[in-house]
Amino acid sequence: MSTAINVEHLSYQYPGVDDTPGTVVFENLNLTVEHGSFVAILGGNGCGKSTLAKHFNSILLPSGGKVYVCGMDTADEEKLMQIRRNVGMVFQNPDNQIVANVVEEDVAFGPENLGVASPAIRQRVDQALRQVGMYDYREHAPHLLSGGQKQRVAIAGVIAMEPKCIVLDEPTAMLDPKGRREVLETVLRLNREKGITVVLITHHMDEAAKADRVVVLHKGQVALDGTPRQVFAQVEKLHELGLRAPESTELCHALRQQRIDLQEACLNEEECAKILSEAFGKTFPGK
Ligand SMILES: Nc1ncnc2c1ncn2[C@@H]1O[C@H](COP(=O)(O)OP(=O)(O)OP(=O)(O)O)[C@@H](O)[C@H]1O
Ligand SMILES: [Mg+2]
């Protein structure tokens, strides 16, 4: 796989106010995201996740080091439009991302700004709305939609620009469980079926467990990096970093602490149920 995003020796310090120096967020951070992968980025509050995401489409530029998107230097002003076309961003609050009064107009906004011809815009908007399961709502007013539906419209607006990569910064933070599931399923489908590279910043471990790779940031550095199974197996280390593994992983870990001999770590409820039923070997009659 080739590289979608390449962060090389990144340093970043926010500008200071008056005589106060700004916060140093990164000093020599290195990270590579492969094309077509689904990477979840985890980390405690203030560790730099959003600051990193903003480097992925030139909202912020490095104080030192380089960030490359599809081989393009994000500090190269001439590449700005191309970079923004390649990396779509979705943020936490869907209300801040919706600009039009009708769903399909909102989705058309991005491609219009890119100068796409009208017939092609129509096609892109319809396709994007179908991909996020919101086509039937194309003539609706966005403000009347649920949070999960609004967030899917925001994602449609991004994919109508046909990006190679989508970066989502806590897209489900303001959603209820149903909205969260809708958004996560949409993102997973875009990755698996369309090959779009996904970088998902989240505080929800069950969402991260569905990624191909989990990167844990701590104090501006990569503290853990691996498959969800590799990263979430390190429950003690996660606790040291102020994080938790998915609930079912935590449960199996707590049972092992009680000297209950469970063979392997689990990532979700189904795996947890299987491990526990194998360990305790009791099923209801007839099952
Ligand atoms: N605009 C800003 N100006 C100055 N400092 C900032 C600014 N935005 C963030 N910071 C600081 O930079 C550090 C990293 O912030 P960032 O928002 O990237 O963290 P985060 O990992 O996204 O946190 P959270 O989980 O709360 O979203 C924090 O110490 C924060 O206070
Ligand atoms: Mg953040």
Q: What confidence tens digit (pLDDT) does each residue in 152-185 have?
A: 999 999 999 989 999 999 999 888 888 889 889 9
Distance 267 CA to ligand 2 centre (A): 24
Does any ligand 1 atom lie closer than 6 A to the CB of residue 195?
Answer: no
Residues 75 and 10: beta-carbon distance below 8 Å: no
pLDDT at res. 286: 60
Q: Decide: 183 and 127 in contact? Cβ < 8 Å.
A: no
Ligand 1 in contact with 64 (CB < 6 A)? no
- DSSP reduced 3-state for 28: strand
Residue range of the domain that includes 73: 3-245
Q: Taking 70 as the threshold, does the pLDDT of residue 284 lie above it?
A: no
Closest C-alpha residue for ligand 1 atom 24: 45
Computed from CA positions of residues 104, 4, 174, 228, in that sequence, does the dihedral angle turn out positive or negative?
positive
**End-to-end distance of the chain based on CA atoms, in angstroms?**
44
Instruction: Determine the pLDDT at residue 164.
Output: 95
Q: Is residue 133 part of a domain?
A: yes
Segment 213-219 mean pLDDT? 97
Mean pLDDT of the chain: 92
**Average pLDDT of span 224-235:** 96
- Please tell me the distance from the alpha carbon of residue 41 to that of residue 33, in angstroms, as a whole number: 11
Nearest atom (ligand 1) to Cα of 47 = 21
Report whether pLDDT(199) > 60. Answer: yes
Residue 157 lies in a domain: yes
Q: Per-residue pLDDT averaged across 63-86, rounded? A: 95
Find the CATH number of the domain harbouring 68.
3.40.50.300
Mutate to test the pocket of ligand 1, among 51, 55, 170 (most ligand atoms within 8 A of CB): 51
Please return the burial class of 115, using the count of CB atoms within 10 Å of its CB with bins 0-12, 13-18 and 19+: exposed
What pLDDT score was predicted for residue 124? 94
pTM, two decimal places: 0.93
Cα(55)–Cα(50) distance, integer angstroms: 9
Average pLDDT over residues 60-69: 97
Residue 61 lies in a domain: yes
pLDDT (0 to 100) of residue 261: 80
Check whether 282 has a pLDDT greater than 80.
Answer: no
Q: How large a percentage of the chain has pLDDT more than 90? A: 77
Could you tell me if residue 259 is inside a domain? no
* pLDDT for position 287: 53
Percentage helix, strand, coil for the chain under 3-state DSSP, each rounded to 5: 40, 20, 35
| pLDDT higher than 90, residue 281 | no
Residue 30 lies in a domain: yes
Map residue 89 onto helix, strand or coil. Answer: strand
Query: What is the total count of domains within the chain?
Result: 1
- Encoding tokens for residue 207? 């969402």
Write the residue with the smallest CA distance to atom 28 of ligand 1.
Answer: 46
- Higher pLDDT: 259 or 215? It is 215
Q: Is 55 in the pocket of ligand 1 (CB under 6 A)?
A: no
Which residues, other chains included, contact 264 with Cβ-Cβ below 8 Å and sequence gap of 6+?
A: 275
The phi and psi torsions of 62 (rounded to 5 degrees) equal -60, 145
223 with 217: CB under 8 angstroms?
Answer: yes
67 part of a folded domain: yes
Question: Looking at the predicted structure, is the pLDDT value of residue 94 above 90?
Answer: no
Query: What's the rounded Cα separation, in Å, for the pair 197 and 200?
Result: 10
Residue 187 has a pLDDT of 93
> In this structure, is residue 265 part of a structural domain?
no
Ligand 2 centroid distance, CA of 151 (Å): 17
Query: Is residue 275 assigned to a domain?
Result: no
Mean pLDDT for 81-103 is 92
Are the beta carbons of 125 and 111 closer than 8 angstroms? yes
The pLDDT of residue 1 is above 80 = no
* Mean pLDDT of the region 193-202: 96
pLDDT tens profile 12-56? 999 988 888 899 999 999 999 999 999 999 999 999 999 999 999
Average pLDDT over residues 126-155: 94
The verdict on the CB of residue 150 being under 6 Å from ligand 1 is: no
48 lines ligand 1 (CB under 6 A): yes
Q: What is the dihedral of CA 213, 218, 219, 223, to 10 degrees?
A: -70
Ligand nearest to the CA of 45: 1
Which has the closest alpha carbon to 88: 33, 201, 170, 165? Answer: 165
